[in-house]
Structure 1
Amino acid sequence: MQKIIATIWIIGFVTVNSQLTSSTSPSTDFNVTDVVHHNVVKKSSPPSSQCTSSSERAIKADLSSDDLIWICKTDEWIPYRIEPSLGNIKSLSADSCKHIREVLATDCTNRPNSGVYWVQDKQVYCDMTTDGGGWTLVWQHSYMETSPLSTNMYYFSDYYKACATYASGWCNIPNKKRFNPTEQMIVAYHKGTIVWAYKGVFNYNIDHDWTGGVLVDFKKIADQCTRNIEILPAPSTHSKNPNLLGLAFDKHSPYNYLQNCDTIWGSLDSPGECRWHDCYLPSVVSAKATQTQQTVAIYVR
């Protein structure tokens, strides 16, 4: 796999081996492993703190610039221009999270971190860990925590709501085929931890109707359920009322779409509680835990 090296352009040669990080997002993380001589035009004032021999090699980020930092060298702050990685800034937006993984991974065990990246000029959450990584988050819903419910929340809806986190809430990216995927994955989280995850061949109906949530040629990635273990999830509703198809999922009878529930049931106006009823949570949480935090997400790759 091709190895990509982040490069700093500086005045003079300096050996720098560190990781520059910011608490904002992965878009400002750079692994500095090589340095190349180049002239740099100062874009802003140097840091206000004094550069002395005691602070030699100190690093200060320039928050006004995507690609400039300052390093203390010989009692002077020297501007360094950083060459950012794919997906780290909007001008280097990637085609998909899979694209980022393929370009930035140095080998099959050294992958970019999961987090928010620029993909097709939008900030999108990328799962770079599960099943080899490269998954683009395209839909999610946190049951009984997101209200009021609406048809905009269907995974086949044309309504756009940014998918920049898998934390509690909901999101949807229309036209999911835009990422040129060959696979899709459905994941259930409890407080950020995967309870179950299954993948299948990309289902093009996901951009058109509820049947797009049916996994084709499915495979298990993870399953911590203590009930109905290794039964794949599928779209569902309850009591033969189809109003939640495209929003609710079941993990009991995956090809009987109008029966049972493992997320919510009822109606958009009055959703009923059935989180984890056909799964139960792992024993580390509770032997038969139900009616507790649950988020289901769809990814494509």
Structure 2
Amino acid sequence: MKLTVALLIVAGMFKLSQATVPGLKERLLPTVSKRSTTPTKQCTSDNEAESFYNETNPTVIWICKGKVWTPFEMSPSIGKTKDVSAASCKQIIDALPTDECPAKSGVYWIQFMQIYCDMTTDGGGWTLVWQHTYMKYRTLNANMFYYSNYSQPCVKDASHQEWCNVPNKTRFNPTEQMIVAYHKGTIIYAYKGYFNRNIDYHWTGGILLDAKRVIDQCIHQNGIPPQPSIHHTGIFGLTFDKLTPYIFHVDCDTYHQGSTLTSPRECRWYNCHLPSYISSRPTATDMTMAILVR
């Protein structure tokens, strides 16, 4: 059954993460395609203002308001302004006309906030939700953990932002998760897997489920996916190794840390070893890790 909707969305009507955000401008919506079915997830007061889209018709975005999913027809400028925020970076990729140039990596408006989107790696459409540049801080804190509920906007790429975190990562309705290691903005290795829902509340959320290689330029441990490093060698939610799958306390590839969050010790690229065409130093040099979802 076709549905024609005319709605006035007033600024400040929606709430997202307990903060008031502006709504969409008044617009008369065209008939919504039959292919764009109502989201199966229940719309409640707990997920007010959460947005969703159906890949079969990505130009329609559904927003949870007043316990009802309401459809909006998006313009070609989706993600470019707050008024036409996308549900995720992937929606921007999917909504592009086939004859349009590919989307560029950069900052877009996603769910009424600005977030960096990787639009090139593995087909693009990746939303940056966590990033950390190692050996940049004398003292670390729990806000930096990838499962923290602390918000530090992810608005820059690996070359220009030392750390960031987007809480409530499930809000983007992702099915995939990717861990990427950068050296001065260049991807050294990237692995993806199914989205791990633990990422919003526990260090095990950094484990890639059914990990697959996207890129790997490491000299050592090539083909071994990154995973959280804990116990005496690491920090829950912050450190990774790249050595023995599903053994989480034997080595490191980022920080080497004892029982405190002070004075992190050098461990960058120790499992990987950078190739000479990337760096004259195989270890102990610039390193940034990031988590993206799609």
Task: Calculate the TM-score normalised by the size of structure 2.
Answer: 0.70
Question: Which position in structure 2 is the counterpart of 1:124?
Answer: 115
Instruction: Show the 5 A alignment for 1:175-214.
Output: 175-214=168-207
Of 289, 295, 299, the match for 2:282: 289
Instruction: Show the 5 A alignment for 1:18-97.
Output: 85-97=77-89
Following superposition, the deviation at residue 181 of structure 1 comes to: 0.2
Matched, 1:145 2:145: no
Query: How far apart, CA to CA, are the structure 2 residues paired with 1:183 and 1:84?
Result: 25
Following superposition, the deviation at residue 106 of structure 1 comes to: 2.2
Task: Judge conservation of contact 2:234–2:256 (CA < 8 Å) in 1.
Answer: no
Task: Judge conservation of contact 1:146–1:170 (CA < 8 Å) in 2.
Answer: no
Paired residue total: 216
Identity of aligned residues (%): 56
Query: How far apart, CA to CA, are the structure 2 residues paired with 1:140 and 1:285?
Result: 21
Following superposition, the deviation at residue 288 of structure 1 comes to: 5.5
Structure 2 portions without partners, runs of 5+: 1-74
One-letter identity of the residue aligned with 2:250: Q
Query: How far apart, CA to CA, are the structure 2 residues paired with 1:115 and 1:204?
Result: 25
One-letter identity of the residue aligned with 2:251: N
SS in 2 for 1:99: helix
Of 273, 277, 281, the match for 2:270: 277
Query: How far apart, CA to CA, are the structure 2 residues paired with 1:243 and 1:98?
Result: 33
Following superposition, the deviation at residue 122 of structure 1 comes to: 0.6
Q: Which sits farther off after the overlay, 285-294 or 169-178?
A: 285-294
Task: Judge conservation of contact 2:80–2:108 (CA < 8 Å) in 1.
Answer: yes
One-letter identity of the residue aligned with 1:190: H
Task: Judge conservation of contact 1:201–1:216 (CA < 8 Å) in 2.
Answer: yes
Task: Judge conservation of contact 1:226–1:281 (CA < 8 Å) in 2.
Answer: yes
Query: How far apart, CA to CA, are the structure 2 residues paired with 1:260 and 1:105?
Result: 47
Query: How far apart, CA to CA, are the structure 1 residues paired with 2:145 and 2:97?
Result: 33
Matched, 1:231 2:208: no
Question: Which position in structure 1 is the counterpart of 2:153?
Answer: 162
Following superposition, the deviation at residue 84 of structure 1 comes to: 6.5
Task: Judge conservation of contact 1:137–1:163 (CA < 8 Å) in 2.
Answer: yes
One-letter identity of the residue aligned with 1:291: A
Q: Which sits farther off after the overlay, 132-141 or 249-258?
A: 249-258
Task: Judge conservation of contact 2:148–2:200 (CA < 8 Å) in 1.
Answer: yes
Matched, 1:252 2:243: yes
One-letter identity of the residue aligned with 2:181: A
Label 1:280 to 1:168 Cα distance change in 2 as closer, same or farther (>3 A): farther
Following superposition, the deviation at residue 147 of structure 1 comes to: 4.5
Following superposition, the deviation at residue 251 of structure 1 comes to: 0.7
* Deviation string, structure 1 residues 163-210 (Cα, Å, up to 9, x no partner): 001234100001100000000000000000000000000000001100
One-letter identity of the residue aligned with 1:295: T
Instruction: Show the 5 A alignment for 1:97-136.
Output: 97-106=89-98, 110-136=101-127
One-letter identity of the residue aligned with 2:77: S
Task: Judge conservation of contact 1:140–1:171 (CA < 8 Å) in 2.
Answer: yes
Query: How far apart, CA to CA, are the structure 1 residues paired with 2:179 and 2:228?
Result: 11
Following superposition, the deviation at residue 268 of structure 1 comes to: 1.2
Label 1:287 to 1:229 Cα distance change in 2 as closer, same or farther (>3 A): farther
Query: How far apart, CA to CA, are the structure 2 residues paired with 1:274 and 1:105?
Result: 45
SS in 2 for 1:241: helix
Task: Judge conservation of contact 2:256–2:265 (CA < 8 Å) in 1.
Answer: yes
One-letter identity of the residue aligned with 1:285: I
Question: Which position in structure 1 is the counterpart of 2:252?
Answer: 261
Query: How far apart, CA to CA, are the structure 2 residues paired with 1:110 and 1:153?
Result: 36
One-letter identity of the residue aligned with 1:123: Q
